[in-house]
């Protein structure tokens, strides 16, 4: 008998800051094995050949051991987020707060931003979304994560439907991540991607994460966990203090005139 996880969850059930990731590695790997079952959808007819899947897997399995970041790689302060693509507060942070932080600090070269996966319920769906963002590669990673956050309610609604979320999720992955159907299929079976997710879950547990989103500021002065709530004013104050502590101006640089 095949066990299919229940995805009949309303957004309210998973929309809270204290969403917990299960601490058992074996349980999480088991959940990963369920991903393709959960996303199964008769609307998406046909499967890629084994050769096509193998080729796609070889392509998307590269560069799995490093963080991909937004902003200058030489920025002296980093904002690290452990978040979940099925977490409502994470979506709110992405949609309403990070655009201002990006414009004022990341785009001006003073802040480096890193998003690390810490999946939360509904776990199989969350794992699938995180896997697909990683498989989209460094150029599309944040673009696809942003799309998943902004269309989170649509994905939840599809997951609760009779046909599941596969058609919706794979379409978003293609439009914003550049992943073909075959590559998305291969991605959800890729052991390297599974290990990448597990590494970050274990890192999060080691530093005491209990919910998502959780933000840290890192610099030469060390790592500081930021207290909730995460709004523009609060985060800006914390970032300004971190910049001043390392002798970097918190003022927004003035761009030179075009010649």
At 59, is the pLDDT very low, low, confident or very high (cuts 50, 70, 90)?
very low
- Asked if pLDDT for residue 14 goes beyond 90, the answer is no
Contact 64, 98 (CB under 8 A): no
If you average pLDDT over residues 1-27, what whole number do you get? Answer: 36
At 253, is the pLDDT very low, low, confident or very high (cuts 50, 70, 90)?
low
Q: How confident is the model at residue 206, as a pLDDT? A: 94
Whether 195 and 232 map to the same domain: the answer is no
If you average pLDDT over residues 29-52, what whole number do you get? Answer: 42
pTM: 0.78
Whether 109 and 223 map to the same domain: the answer is yes
d(CA 234, CA 251): 16
At 248, is the pLDDT very low, low, confident or very high (cuts 50, 70, 90)?
confident
Instruction: Report the candidate in 123, 139, 69, 211 with the shortest Cα–Cα distance to residue 131.
Output: 123
pLDDT single digits (tens) 87-105: 999 999 999 999 999 999 9
Cβ neighbours, 10 Å, residue 50: 8
pLDDT single digits (tens) 144-162: 999 999 999 999 999 999 9
At 21, is the pLDDT very low, low, confident or very high (cuts 50, 70, 90)?
very low
Instruction: Report the candidate in 92, 81, 93 with the shortest Cα–Cα distance to residue 218.
Output: 81
CATH number at residue 107: 3.40.30.10
d(CA 51, CA 248): 52
Residue 26 forms part of a structural domain: no
Contact 204, 225 (CB under 8 A): no
Number of domains in the chain: 2
Instruction: Report the candidate in 85, 55, 62, 84 with the shortest Cα–Cα distance to residue 182.
Output: 55
Whether 97 and 157 map to the same domain: the answer is no
Residue 90 forms part of a structural domain: yes
Q: How confident is the model at residue 23, as a pLDDT? A: 40
Q: What is the DSSP string of 64-111?
A: -SS--EES-TT-SEEEEEEE-TT-HHHHHIIIIIHHHHIIIIITTTSE
218: helix, strand or coil: strand
Whether 190 and 169 map to the same domain: the answer is yes
Whether 159 and 98 map to the same domain: the answer is no
Residue 32 forms part of a structural domain: no
37: helix, strand or coil: helix
Q: How confident is the model at residue 251, as a pLDDT? A: 55
At 66, is the pLDDT very low, low, confident or very high (cuts 50, 70, 90)?
confident
Range with the poorest average pLDDT among 9-18, 89-98, 120-129, 137-146? 9-18
Which domain covers residue 233, as residue numbers? 67-77+86-114+215-248
Using DSSP bridges, classify how beta strands 222-225 and 214-219 pair: parallel, antiparallel or unpaired: antiparallel
Residue 233 forms part of a structural domain: yes
pLDDT single digits (tens) 171-221: 999 999 999 999 999 999 999 999 999 999 999 999 999 899 999 999 999
Whether 105 and 148 map to the same domain: the answer is no
């Amino acid at each position: 008998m095949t066990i299919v996880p229940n995805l009949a969850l309303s957004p309210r059930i998973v929309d809270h800051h204290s969403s917990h990731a299960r601490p058992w590695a074996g349980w999480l790997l088991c959940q990963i094995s369920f991903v393709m079952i959960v996303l199964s959808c008769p609307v998406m007819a046909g499967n890629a050949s084994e050769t096509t899947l193998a080729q796609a897997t070889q392509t998307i399995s590269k560069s799995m051991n490093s963080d991909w970041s937004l902003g200058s790689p030489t920025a002296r302060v980093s904002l690290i987020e452990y978040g979940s693509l099925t977490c409502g507060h994470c979506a709110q942070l992405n949609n309403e707060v990070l655009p201002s932080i990006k414009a004022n600090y990341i785009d001006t070269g003073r802040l480096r931003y890193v998003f690390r996966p810490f999946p939360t319920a509904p776990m199989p769906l969350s794992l699938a979304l995180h896997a697909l963002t990683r498989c989209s590669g460094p150029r599309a990673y944040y673009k696809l994560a942003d799309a998943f956050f902004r269309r989170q309610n649509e994905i939840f609604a599809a997951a609760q439907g009779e046909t599941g979320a596969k058609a919706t999720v794979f379409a978003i992955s293609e439009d914003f991540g550049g992943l073909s159907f075959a590559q998305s299929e291969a991605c959800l079976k890729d052991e390297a991607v599974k290990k990448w997710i597990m590494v970050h879950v274990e890192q999060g547990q080691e530093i005491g994460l209990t919910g998502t989103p959780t933000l840290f500021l890192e610099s030469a002065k060390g790592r500081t966990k930021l207290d909730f709530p995460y709004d523009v004013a609060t985060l800006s104050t914390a970032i300004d203090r971190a910049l001043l502590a390392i002798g970097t101006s918190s003022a927004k640089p003035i761009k030179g005139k075009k010649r």
